[in-house]
Amino acid sequence: MSIIDLPKFDPPAIEALLEIVSDGVWFWHANTGYVYRSPGWYKMLGYDVHSLDGTVFTWETVIHPDDYQMVMEHFERYMKSLSEAYHLEYRCKTKSGDYILIEDKAFVVERNEDGSVARMIGAHRDIDAQERLNQHDKLLHQELQKTIDERTKELNKLNQELTAKIKQTELLARTDFLTTLSNRYNFEKSLSNEVSRAQRFNEPLSLMIFDLDKFKLINDLHGHAAGDEILISIGKLLRNEIREIDLVSRWGGDEFAILLPNTSLNDAFVVADKLRKRINSELNTVLDSASASFGVVELTKGESPSQLSVRADKALYKSKNAGGNQISSSLSA
């Protein structure tokens, strides 16, 4: 402790000062065992001023049982100079039987020749209200954080649902609702990209378009529901038969288109013939004379996506006009 010059106080002045101070100031004369406690100390705990014995035992009896050992250990360490300061918080019992949290801070002001404590001065300060306020603020913060976490969880869930709906909407925008194959709009976008890619890298690209011969007769004899089932089954068949890099689309009605990257016209004819036989087998379960007709073309140098589509369509009608159940090609649009 630093020593500073203080004015000399006579007993009446000291008594007046202790009356003014709201904290519970205490003086311990260890050699006599006498403990003086200021009026503020008694008022803090709800007792009449100087109504309790001026001994250390009075202090010990108001310490909360669960805090007692901790307080005594800290007190003894300080008296034996094993700790630099005496400063801690613990609970004290009031006259009403309730406990309040106090801050206890003290200094040894005089020691005996053997090093033991002769005099010690300290103060008890009521921090219960502040602690309750801190706990209240902590609880409010926890509740606020809980609310924020709940709202964040709800927003994340809504965001995930919205993202899923957006993905679903995007999927529906490029998918045929009946067969779940690519729709014509998405197919034409892919066709444009693949034509540019094939022209850029000088790679073969083939396109085939086919439709189902006598499909109208199937609808007339068995109903549109049966016709829809046929289209759905054709979609499943195509997904199982084509490569991962190929793109198959329901072109419209009973017409389908397949884009075959890095595939020559001859190889495309092989694929078309395989599909024709598989599709005919599927159709014959409903109508013996039903079949499929194909138009197959390979991209030529400088040809546009629309020109390629027109040639494939022309080749298809060439097969249809020849009686159906055939594979044809067209060299010009």
In one-letter notation, the amino acid at residue 234 is: I
Of 104, 211, 254, 313, the catalytic one is: 254
Rounded Cα–Cα distance for residues 151 and 297 (Å): 57
How far, in Å, CA of 15 to CA of 25, rounded?
A: 11
N- to C-terminal Cα distance for the chain?
Answer: 105
Rounded to the nearest 10 degrees, the angle between the axes of helix 184-201 and helix 305-321 is: 110
Q: d(Cα 90, Cα 269) in Å, to the nearest integer?
A: 92
252 within 8 A of 181, measured Cβ to Cβ: no
Query: SS3 string of 250-263?
Result: EEECCEEEEEEECC
Write phi, then psi, for 259 (nearest 5 degrees): -100, 130
Helix (H), strand (E) at residue 282: helix 265-283
280: nearest Cα among 190, 205, 215, 217: 215
CB 329 within 8 A of CB 295: yes
The letter for the amino acid at 229 is E
From the list 198, 197, 179, 176, the residue with the least C-alpha distance to 187 is 176
Q: Which of 293, 294, 239, 299 is nearest to 264 (CA)?
A: 299
Verify whether residue 5 is a known catalytic residue: no
Active-site residues, by number, are 254
